[in-house]
Structure 1
Amino acid sequence: MPAAPELAAPTTVDLDAAADQAIAACGGDAREAVKALIVANDFLETQLDELRTKVSTGYARGRLPRTREQRNDPDD
């Protein structure tokens, strides 16, 4: 049994409905919806990076990918 269950890819209908919902939430402006989604994604990535720093290497057994800062580090 794998450690993490495989996530099912969303169907096209689900993606279309989610896109329509995001655009509707932004008053019908697709550009504003894209900007809002970019901000939300950045927020979630920041939270994920913070959680990665709090999880010990031993607990994660080295399975966690590097944080954004580590990937962009010019010293590598």
Structure 2
Amino acid sequence: MREAVRRLAREGLVDFVPGEVARVAAISLGGVRALFEFRMLLEPRAAHERLLVPFRELLKQLQAFDESFRVR
């Protein structure tokens, strides 16, 4: 179990916090966007056009949300 948690930490998926054991690492909006884009590349057979539409819409919403926080 310890080795598994250490491996997750090396991959950036777990953070060690002083005074606590470990916790799931935070993910940025950019990370979420990259994850969805990566899934669309990996799942071409499963991602027929009717399944891609929700992902594309979600990506648009994430981009709009991300842009709303940028300083102009």
Quickly name the TM-score band, shorter chain normalised: 0.3 to 0.5
Instruction: Answer 1 or 2: which has greater strand percent.
Output: 2
Query: How does the TM-score come out when normalised to structure 1?
Result: 0.36
TM-score (norm: length of structure 2) = 0.38
| Greater relative contact order (Cα < 8 A, sep 6+) | 2
